[in-house]
Amino acid sequence: MEFSKTLTAVITALLLAPLLMAADPDPLQDFCVADLGSKTSVNGYPCQPSSSAGDEFLFSSKVAKGGDPSSNPNGSNVTELDVTEWPGVNTLGVSMNRVDFAPGGTNPPHIHPRATEVGLVTRGELLVGIIGSLDSGNRYYSRVLRAGETFVIPRGLMHFQFNVGQAEATMVVSFNSQNPGIIFVPLTMFGSSPPIPTTVLAKALRVDAEVVDLIKSKFAGGY
Ligand code: GLV
Ligand code: MN
């Protein structure tokens, strides 16, 4: 009896493992180019008819050229290549970004709720920081990376990049989701809409309400 229960538990765990470990769902066809205009809502996007899905959806030149990092208060510019920018990745569980940094620029502390990230620095010098969960004692992992060096960020962990060099820096990252999502931690806390009550943030951050209001005023215009 005990043995059969254990056997059932082991078989159930083996059957569930791929589901629990998967990122986006597995595709059931070669390509499913996203029909971004569809009114039907599914987990991802419905496929365009294969007759209208041409080669242009499988290739992209968008990250060949980055944006101007000094046009942003963070001193960084993200060129996104998720499914909305690259419909060919629909259902394939992958996407990319290019990020350009001015000297002293940062991609501020953020979290991807749906993807692990791997990145390659292609020019400049970037401090990459990752903060572990409470389980790790909030351990801060960091390294300055230069062209050709890589990093990995487990799904759900807060991380940032900061250009510590004198010149512009660039990195290219990929995700194991067509739609990794992003939670910018400062913006989420201080620029939500409607705002989180100041009393809540003052208590949580152990500071006076004026300090919270000052920070909120910095995020009034978004990012
Ligand atoms: C970098 O961390 C990015 O999410 O683009
Ligand atoms: Mn990231």
Numbers of helices and strands, H then E, in the chain: 4, 10
Ligand 1 atom, smallest distance to 161 CA? 2
Give the residue, by CA position, lying nearest to ligand 1 atom 5: 97
Q: What is the CA radius of gyration of the chain?
A: 21
Is 0.95 surpassed by the pTM of this model?
no
Count CB neighbours of 95 within 10 A: 24
Architecture of domain 55-181: Sandwich (2.60)
Domain assignments of the chain as residue spans, ordered by start = 55-181, 188-218
Q: Which residues have CB under 6 Å of ligand 1?
A: 78, 97, 99, 107, 117, 159, 161, 173
pLDDT at 18 over 60: no
pLDDT at 47 over 60: yes
Cα angle at 158 between 153 and 163, to 5 degrees?
80
The predicted structure's pLDDT at residue 2? 62
pLDDT at 20 over 70: no
CA of 35 to the centre of ligand 2 (A): 26
DSSP string, 99-145: EEE-TT-EEEEEE-TT--EEEEEEESEEEEEEE--GGGTS-EEEEEE
Q: For the segment 48-98, what is each residue's pLDDT rounded down to a tens digit?
A: 988 777 888 889 999 999 999 998 899 999 999 999 999 999 999 999 999
Candidate of 107, 118, 152 to mutate for ligand 1, largest count of ligand atoms within 8 Å of Cβ: 107
The predicted structure's pLDDT at residue 19? 47
Candidate of 95, 97, 187 to mutate for ligand 1, largest count of ligand atoms within 8 Å of Cβ: 97
Give φ, ψ of 194 to 5 degrees: -70, 165
Per DSSP, what are the bridge partners of residue 145?
126
Candidate of 173, 175, 179 to mutate for ligand 1, largest count of ligand atoms within 8 Å of Cβ: 173
CA of 104 to the centre of ligand 1 (A): 16
Q: For the segment 153-199, what is each residue's pLDDT rounded down to a tens digit?
A: 999 999 999 999 999 999 999 999 999 999 999 999 999 999 999 99
